[in-house]
Amino acid sequence: MKLIAPSILAADFANLNKSIKMVEEAGCDMLHIDVMDGRFVPNITIGPVVIESLRKVTGIPFDIHLMIVEPEKYIETFIEAGADMITVQAEACVHLDRIIQQIKSTGAKVGVALNPSTPEHMLEYVLDQLDMVLVMSVNPGFGGQEFINGSLRKITNLKAMIEQKSLNVKIQVDGGINQNNINKISQAGADIFVAGSAIFNSTKPTEAVKHLRAAAMS
Ligand code: DX5
Ligand code: ZN
């Protein structure tokens, strides 16, 4: 199963409700919400207050991507705001195993994201505890960047690690995904595709979702 996760970072923030209804109607599987703190990444986006408001207008699962330092301080806050899945950046966690346990204890799904320069083998001893690995295919911080091709090898290697250990861990890929490259990313072993500009900057976003899904599955 190949899943599409629109990133609302590229949506019109004055009309978030409308954007969410659109991706719901387009049959998207979850909403990818990028939280940035101006410290882990050089950009600041939205936080729990906005997520809490969005939770009231939609039932779509919230996939929260935390690009923040010291994420352990905010896990419960994001859960209360409505997170269904929380992904932390491996590079931001001094005690990665501990924070994975912290997220799991809330009942939410847990993911760990790897920056483009971070090798997949740093997850070797925690992989069996995860629901998802997020392969960053751009340097985090901004939407609309170009896909880094080296990510394909990381996806292939991760897929092999997961299969070798017979685990049920999904591979999500985030950054620079579009209709032209989604198929090769899918072939490499990705299960969940985050797309911001490819959906929200399109003149026909509903069609864009349909085309992305079809290309991922072909
Ligand atoms: C980047 C974010 C991504 C980004 C994807 O730091 O994590 O989710 O919004 O946007 P596109 O699809 O435009 O690269
Ligand atoms: Zn993201």
Q: Convert the pLDDT of each residue in 31-72 to its tens digit.
A: 999 999 999 999 999 999 999 999 999 999 999 999 999 999
**pLDDT given for residue 181 in this prediction:** 98
CA distances from 214 to 37, 60, 106, 144, 147 (A): 34, 21, 35, 22, 19
Distance CA 166, CA 150 (A): 25
| pLDDT for res 32 | 98
Q: CATH no. for residue 133?
A: 3.20.20.70
User: For position 18, what pLDDT does the model report?
Assistant: 97
Domain range for residue 93?
Answer: 3-217
Look up 63 and say whether it is catalytic.
Answer: no
29 is catalytic: no
Please tell me the distance from the alpha carbon of residue 27 to that of residue 192, in angstroms, as a whole number.
14
- Choose among 39, 37, 63, 35: nearest CA to 50: 35
Phi then psi dihedrals of residue 121, to 5 deg: -70, -10
Of all protein residues, the one whose alpha carbon is nearest to atom 4 of ligand 1 is 143
Predicted confidence at residue 83, as pLDDT, reads 98
Six-digit token string for 8: 């609302």
pLDDT for 123 equals: 98
Ligand 1 center to 5 CA (angstroms)? 11
Catalytic residue among 34, 37, 63, 131: 34
Total number of domains constituting the chain = 1
Low-confidence ranges of the chain (pLDDT < 70): none
Residue ranges lining ligand 1, Cβ < 6 Å: 7, 9-10, 32, 34, 65, 138, 140-141, 143-145, 174-177, 194-198
Predicted TM-score (pTM) of the model is 0.98
Binding-site residue numbers for a divalent metal cation are 32, 34, 65, 174
- Point out the catalytic residue in the list 37, 63, 131, 174: 174
